Amino acid sequence: MADEDPTPRDPVTKHPQPEFPQQDQSPPGWTGPMDPPPDHGEDSYRGSGLLEGRKTLLTGGDSGIGRAVALAFAREGADVMFTHLPEEEEEAAETTRLVTEAGRKAVPVSCDIREEEQCRLLVEGAVAEFGRIDILVNNAAYQMSQPDGIQDITTEQFDRVMRTNIYGMFWLSKMALPHIPKGGSIINSASVQAYKPSPHLLDYATTKGAIVTFTQGLAQMLASDDIRVNAVAPGPVWTPLIPATLPDTANFGKQAPLGRPAQPAEMAPAYVFLASSRASYITAEIVNATGGTPLP
């Protein structure tokens, strides 16, 4: 779970710092045009067998944090079924390549987790493919900035954010549980927004607060079943969601104490740790990876 180069490096200068070129994309965003290109750990992540033989179901694995998690899990020995939207086939193909090159099975699934029936079919597909689900990672999310306030958040947008970020996580957790063996793990993607909400991301931040509560409540519910539930709360991370949903990409991440956004590769080790037996006594925990922003 280490970089190829073990030499300590300055966390401020390890990855690109703002200002970045201003860039705008249509949702859901694409990795290819991003400048600087995101780092998913392609050249740095080295596994050590922490997840050998595990079977993983991951949402939103086509790009960003999801791609970095899929790559890291594969290099740690896990097979990965991951979701993507129909328009993200090209992105999904790259994640598939990375997982396959690591010697593990990659199963991309076009799925809209806003629909309960699609979630049910997804879980059934994972069980048919793998026989069980050792690790469920609820990572898929949607946001859209509305700098002019709550009046500009339409019911359509609010519904999309809620159904993607909350309903999908709820349905998949509920449906996957009968197929998660003792020692299994659920990991949810929360956010710094859960604790320090940005006004222009009001609906998104609301869902991330709910994810924290859901994680901690479900963890207590499942502790006696030997299933752990945790979350990772990233700060600003350089993913395709940023140029697709935020108006200012030039200064993105500059507000973090480390002065830059994280790269997706910097988030993946937290998910690996929480999924591994090294975290056997850790449940109901939120791992904050915020670049120095203090959280409760």
Q: What is the CATH number of the domain that holds 75?
A: 3.40.50.720
pTM (2 d.p.): 0.95
17 within some domain? no
Contact 233, 1 (CB under 8 A): no
296 within some domain? no
Buried b (16+ CB within 10 A) or exposed e, 228-265: bbbbbbbbbbbbbbbbbbbeebeebbbebebebbbbbb
86 within some domain? yes
From first to last of its 296 residues, what are the pLDDT tens digits of the chain?
A: 444 556 667 898 899 999 999 999 998 899 999 999 999 999 999 999 999 999 999 999 999 999 999 999 999 999 999 999 999 999 999 999 999 999 999 999 999 999 999 999 999 999 999 999 999 999 999 999 999 999 999 999 999 999 999 999 999 999 999 999 999 999 999 999 999 999 999 999 999 999 999 999 999 999 999 999 999 999 999 999 999 988 889 999 999 999 999 999 999 999 999 999 999 999 999 999 999 999 87
Give the structural domain span for 115: 55-289
Is 271 an active-site residue? no
Give the count of domains, the chain. 1
Of 45, 142, 195, 204, catalytic = 204
Contact 123, 180 (CB under 8 A): no
20 within some domain? no
2 within some domain? no
